[in-house]
């Protein structure tokens, strides 16, 4: 597997506070990486640096061998990295379909037209197909402000994926989503990501989700990476268990309960 994203000694400090220190990460093609860590560990800072929202204080970011350190978010988007947000970033007064149409129009290689109608049948068909890829086509005509959280999250990801990126960064895709909807949402997203052939990296607090979808886990603690490896190995790392997961990994709970009953 060839690597697509590589960060070398990435550092970000806000005054005396170091939010991320010496982050060295390599993401390979088609890999699904879970990022875990307690609040303030540097997960979102890492995503923000890779996508150009924050300028790193030190270190470099290479995407397909090209140095993209210090790129603006729109330059990063154009190179093939996209992201979703902890709080879905949408256009609330427009409908779901219009949101998708705007995403397609903006991400297309062509300049934004001033006379060609955005709502042409071809564009609508493309946008509807994209929406149905995330199973939200039935909400097409609903204004985004009226949508439930889970649907907003899916739309947010669908819009990010409209560029057909090589790497998708998901910042807490299931935060704010009802527990019973979490797996359904992740199933839909992961299926769409696999179809597109993109690699993905997702920040998540729910260890059940991490262990179910990630093939590899990177654990952040206090701005540093304390573990990076195959999911099971990383989750069982003593430091990860102590600082992030908690000494009793709740994945093992059902077994424990059974043992207790016996």
Q: What whole-number distance in Å separates Cα of residue 99 and Cα of residue 94?
A: 6
Number of residues that bind another protein (CB under 8 A): 36
Q: How far is CA 70 from the centre of its chain?
A: 20
Q: Of the candidates 23, 102, 147, 198, which one interacts with another protein according to CB under 8 A?
A: 102
Query: What backbone phi and psi angles, to 5 degrees, belong to 53?
Result: -75, -35
Residue 116 or 178: the one with the smaller Cβ distance to another protein is 116
Residue 103 interacts with another protein (CB under 8 A): yes or no: yes
Residue 101 or 192: the one with the smaller Cβ distance to another protein is 101
For tokens 């379909």, name the residue: 97
Dihedral, CA of residue 182, residue 192, residue 205 and residue 199, to nearest 10: 170
Residue 142 interacts with another protein (CB under 8 A): yes or no: no
Residue 178 interacts with another protein (CB under 8 A): yes or no: no
Q: Of the candidates 19, 27, 101, 217, which one interacts with another protein according to CB under 8 A?
A: 101
Contact partners, residue 37, CB within 8 Å, separation at least 6: 43, 219, 220, 221, 244
Residue 119 interacts with another protein (CB under 8 A): yes or no: yes
Residue 194 interacts with another protein (CB under 8 A): yes or no: no
Say if strands 3-14 and 58-63 run parallel, antiparallel, or are unpaired: antiparallel
Residues 53-82 contacting another protein, CB under 8 A: 72-74, 77-78, 82
Q: Of the candidates 43, 83, 153, 182, which one interacts with another protein according to CB under 8 A?
A: 83
Residue 160 interacts with another protein (CB under 8 A): yes or no: yes
């Amino acid at each position: 597997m060839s690597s697509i994203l590589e960060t070398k000694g990435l550092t970000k400090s806000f005054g005396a506070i170091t939010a991320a220190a010496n982050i060295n990460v390599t993401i390979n093609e088609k890999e699904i990486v879970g990022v875990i860590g307690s609040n303030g560990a540097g997960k979102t800072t890492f995503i923000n640096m890779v996508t150009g929202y924050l300028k790193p204080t030190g270190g470099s970011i290479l995407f397909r061998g090209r140095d993209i350190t210090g790129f603006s978010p729109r330059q990063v988007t154009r190179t093939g990295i996209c992201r979703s947000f902890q709080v879905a970033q949408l256009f609330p007064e427009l409908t779901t379909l219009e949101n998708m149409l705007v995403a397609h129009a903006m991400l297309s290689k062509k300049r934004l037209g001033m006379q060609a109608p955005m709502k042409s049948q071809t564009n609508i068909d493309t946008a509807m197909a994209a929406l149905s890829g995330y199973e939200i086509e039935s909400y097409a005509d609903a204004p985004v402000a009226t949508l439930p959280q889970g649907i907003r999250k899916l739309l947010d990801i669908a819009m990010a994926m409209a560029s057909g990126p090589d790497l998708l960064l998901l910042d807490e895709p299931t935060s704010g989503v009802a527990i019973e909807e979490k797996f359904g949402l992740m199933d839909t997203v992961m299926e769409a990501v696999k179809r597109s052939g993109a690699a993905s990296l997702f920040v998540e607090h729910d260890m059940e989700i991490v262990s179910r979808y990630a093939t590899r886990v990177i654990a952040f603690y206090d701005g540093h990476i304390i573990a990076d490896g195959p999911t099971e190995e990383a989750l069982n790392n003593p430091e990860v268990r102590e600082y992030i997961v908690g000494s009793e990994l709740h994945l093992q709970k059902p077994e424990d309960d059974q043992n207790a009953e016996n």
